[in-house]
Amino acid sequence: MYSSVKTLALSGLVGTEINVEADMSDGLPVFEMVGFLGGEVKEARERVRTALKNNGITLPPKRITVNLSPADIRKTGTSYDLAVAVSLLKLLGEIPTDAADGMMVIGELGLSGKVHAVSGVLPMVIQAKEIGIKKCMVPADNYTEAAAVDGMEIAGVNSIDEMLSFFNGELTDCIRERKQTCISGGGYDVDFSEINGQETCRRAMEIAAAGMHNILLIGPPGAGKTMLAKRLPTILPAPDHGECMEITKIYSVAGLLGNGQGLITTRPFVNPHHTISQVALAGGGGLPKPGACTLAHRGVLFLDELPEFSHNALEILRQPLEEREINIQRAQAACTYPADFLLCAAMNPCRCGYYPDRSKCRCTDNDVRKYLGRISGPLLDRIDICAEASEVDYGSLKGNGKNESSDSIRKRVERAANIQHERYAGTGIRFNSEISVRDIETYCHLGAAEERMMRNAFESMKLSARAFHRMLRVSRTIADLDGSADIKVNHLSEAIGFRSIDGRYWNG
Amino acid sequence: MAEERYIARFEDDFPARLRFIPGCPSGIYVKGELPDPERKTVAIVGSRACSHYGYSMAEYFASHLASAGVQIVSGMARGIDGIAQRAALDAGGVSYGVLGFGLDVIYPKENKDLFDMITERGGLITEHPGGTQPVKAFFASRNRIISGLCDLLLVIEARLQSGTSITVSNALEQGRDVFAVPGRLTDPLSAGCNKLISEGAGIARTPDDILRALGLSYEKPVVVKRRSRDDAFTVIKPAPAELTEKEKLVYECLDLYPKGLNELVRQTRLSVSELLEILISLSVKGVAKECAKHNYIKIWQNW
């Protein structure tokens, strides 16, 4: 006697189809599970046996073998329990032998027979769809998440009881057609209208959001750098359905989706503490889990107190900033996680935080330079925009209640994003920040007056050559925000004004 | 390369001004020249962590005095000392540095170019033999030589409790005139100077005040020449830059103390974009400067 049920094994965001095969034959009574199982999968034997017993189904005294095939892929996690239970029930004749045919079964069991939520349901369901499966059985708590996938029949079950009724055709209303759960935009609990003053940072963040330029905020403690950064996702273009799926997939794998939470429709804001390790930032573990830079995918990675981060941790950001994904190699698996984020960093101008206010700051110029020197050059090279967050005085603290809201800023940002979208159609570039040095002459062409202005600025302000291309990219974005096809002198000037710091910048 | 030599107190070459100060060193090591006893000497001292106001004032006084033929003495330290000495040399004058360590040590390292220049057009003086490393205690005792070598001590910027106050009390003990550059009452970096003035020090409003106190006449305005890095002599005072109405408005709002962009937005009621454009234009014209991210100062035109 033999039965088989389909389920999935996830490695990173990619799944492999797994067949749970069960066989019952004569011999010494034993319940054995094989197929390269991790510790938690081996324990499934006890959970399944007890859960069935507590629902009035006792395993007969026969030799029962369960194999998870293909047997050369290591299985981890608790999502196999339900599939093992279904295969046994088919074997025992508790449910029809054609039950669960063409269906993928995911879920963890409790001893009482309750079906618990598991992580990674969304990517599994997406993968199931790709391999042509039309129906999925998931824990009821994961129903909304799984229902986000188009054209998939989802059964959300709470317990073995419900599962039995479902397969015996007694309970059908737990299978429902997928509801539209994706709502565009909105949904943030913070807004730019709550920020008084800080005109400089407002403008800098608008430009950063429009062209996906990485941004550095400099300012004294308590100026509101974190408050500003938290509002950066709210002015980024609203994520489309595909992006929502990507974000939700990652949070699902990381086990960070709340019970009953469906598609995430807001851009993530990830704010790791500066003591974060390399692995926590990049992702890792035996079977690699996503790290902070993957959790910030399609959103904002905020590094507060940038000079306090360990040099090693920051160095690993170079790959994701360059390739927008991160490869993690471990003994058991190698996986690639997406990591396309907008980097927002914040720092004090010096160790005490008050430079150049000499009534508070006693750091010498050398101290200030040393403090700046703690940021790695290659990372600084990826930051296009730099702005000062100044201390807020009482007048602007009280505010006049007429601050511009995130919605109205986002409208301008989206308009600029559309211009870029049209201009770069078919080139592989999405935003101005991605223009390669080779293409810069094509997209950031300067007229005679602009060339002259740039030359003057370079000579009299001693700008560094490394910053040149970054300034051109930013000026392209400013021109797009302005709706101007050409980069004009005022766009260039503003880009120079927002240029990032470089080594010799902070002198006298 | 200038030669190093040792001059004992009883030798004729030993500076006469120094010989009779309390605690006169038994001898000094010299590299380069000693101050000319026939010419007036002014010591310019101040805070190591100075403000941009202090920076501008040190440059202003040092370059004018040096151009008028006054020798500038200071301590080669970070901040006011180095700025004043560099300005004096750049203006074509001479300057002397008094060290609190051996002649073969360069401290602070960022003043290395100044150490090289000063032995060509001035000199270095110390009471410590070669190999003596910079030690805190030696800096305080060096101050008596700085004040001892000068006719007049000018304090640019000093906090209430600072190394400068040691130099000032030495100077008073040695009978030298003390002048101070006034600053804002609210600025702790100028508190020492303002206190000196209230206690009777001279007020240094312009280099003229100092020259008069030294008994030098100063009828014709001195044209300050500055040696730029590529060694060509250029006149520093630029032709009054042609500014547009809005540029004038922003320029008037700027100060020698750094002002943040947000504050400028409130004062001028211009947008950030507009302001940045004007500020970049002012920087290109050389009348404003970004001294820290989005903090701007005026470059002083009153040379």
Q: How far is CA A90 from the centre of its chain?
A: 39
Residue for token digits 């701007």?
Answer: B296
The percent of chain B in helix, strand and coil, each rounded to the nearest 5, is 40, 20, 45
Looking at residue B99, what is its pLDDT? 94
Q: What is the mean pLDDT of residues A20-36?
A: 94
Give the residue, A454 or A357, on which the prediction is more confident. Answer: A454
Q: What is the mean pLDDT of residues A463-478?
A: 89
Residue extents of the structural domains in chain A = 2-176, 192-430
Looking at residue B163, what is its pLDDT? 86
Evaluate if residue B218 carries a pLDDT over 80. Answer: no
For B167, phi then psi, to 5°, come to: -60, -40
Kindly determine whether residue A493 and residue B263, on different chains, have CB atoms separated by under 8 Å.
Answer: no
Name the band, by pLDDT with cuts 50, 70 and 90, for residue B292. confident
> Three-class SS of residue A33?
strand
- Cross-chain CB nearest to B258 (options A199, A356, A453): A356
| Model confidence pLDDT, tens digit, residues B244-262 | 888 988 988 888 888 999 9
Task: Give how far Cα B121 sits from Cα of A131, B24, B63, B202, Å.
Answer: 83, 25, 14, 29
**AA letter at B111:** N
- In angstroms, the CA B140 to CA B157 distance is 17
Instruction: Give the DSSP letter string of B193-255.
Output: HHHHHHTTPEE-SSHHHHHHHTT----SPPPPEEE-TTS-EEESSPPPP---HHHHHHHHH--
Among the listed residues A213, A186, A236, the one whose alpha carbon sits nearest the alpha carbon of residue A414:
A236
Kindly determine whether residue A388 and residue B48, on different chains, have CB atoms separated by under 8 Å.
Answer: no
Best of B271, B272, B278, B279 to substitute, by most chain A Cβ atoms within 10 angstroms, is: B272
Kindly determine whether residue A453 and residue B284, on different chains, have CB atoms separated by under 8 Å.
Answer: yes
Domain formed by A2-176, architecture? 2-Layer Sandwich (3.30)
Give the residue, B163 or A21, on which the prediction is more confident. Answer: A21
Among the listed residues A444, A306, A327, the one whose alpha carbon sits nearest the alpha carbon of residue A383:
A306
Looking at residue A180, what is its pLDDT? 43
Looking at residue B237, what is its pLDDT? 40
- Check if CATH label 2.40.30.10 holds for domain B245-298: no
| Count of other CB atoms within 10 angstroms of residue A442 | 10
Compute the nearest-CA separation of A189 from chain B (Å).
26
According to DSSP, the residues that pair with A327 across neighbouring strands are A336
Name the band, by pLDDT with cuts 50, 70 and 90, for residue A356. confident
- In angstroms, the CA B15 to CA A20 distance is 100
In CATH, the number for domain B4-227 is 3.40.50.450
Q: What is the mean pLDDT of residues A388-414?
A: 83
- B68-84 burial, b at 16+ Cβ within 10 Å, e below that, comes to bebbbbbbbbbbbbbbb
| Model confidence pLDDT, tens digit, residues B18-41 | 998 999 999 999 999 999 999 999
Q: Kindly list the strands in the beta sheet with B152-155, ordered across the sheet, starting from the edge strand earlier in the chain.
A: B4-8, B27-32, B122-126, B95-99, B71-74, B41-45, B152-155, B177-180, B202-203
User: Are B4-227 and B245-298 the same fold in CATH?
Assistant: no
Cβ atoms A275, A256 nearer than 8 A: no
According to DSSP, the residues that pair with B6 across neighbouring strands are B29
- In angstroms, the CA A240 to CA A234 distance is 14
- In angstroms, the CA B231 to CA B92 distance is 11
Looking at residue B240, what is its pLDDT? 55
Chain A residues whose CB is inside 8 A of the B257 CB are 358
- In angstroms, the CA A295 to CA B79 distance is 46
> What is the percent of chain A with per-residue pLDDT over 70, rounded to a whole number?
94
Residue extents of the structural domains in chain B = 4-227, 245-298
**AA letter at A131:** I
Q: How far is CA B76 from the centre of its chain?
A: 10
Kindly determine whether residue A202 and residue B266, on different chains, have CB atoms separated by under 8 Å.
Answer: no
Among the four given CATH numbers 3.40.190.10, 3.10.129.10, 3.40.50.300, 3.30.70.1560, the one describing domain A192-430? 3.40.50.300
- Checking ipTM against 0.90, whether it exceeds it is no
The structure tokens listed for B137 are 């205690």
Mean of pLDDT over chain A? 89
Evaluate if residue A395 carries a pLDDT over 60. Answer: yes
The structure tokens listed for A354 are 């008050």
Evaluate if residue A174 carries a pLDDT over 60. Answer: no
- In angstroms, the CA A103 to CA A318 distance is 42
- In angstroms, the CA A236 to CA A243 distance is 13
Evaluate if residue B227 carries a pLDDT over 70. Answer: no
- In angstroms, the CA A394 to CA A406 distance is 23
| Model confidence pLDDT, tens digit, residues B127-136 | 999 999 998 8
Kindly determine whether residue B277 and residue A494, on different chains, have CB atoms separated by under 8 Å.
Answer: yes
Looking at residue A506, what is its pLDDT? 45
Kindly determine whether residue B49 and residue A218, on different chains, have CB atoms separated by under 8 Å.
Answer: no
Name the band, by pLDDT with cuts 50, 70 and 90, for residue B224. low
Cβ atoms B264, A194 nearer than 8 A: no
Does B186 contact A at CB distance below 8 Å?
yes
- In angstroms, the CA A257 to CA A247 distance is 11
- In angstroms, the CA A182 to CA A236 distance is 17
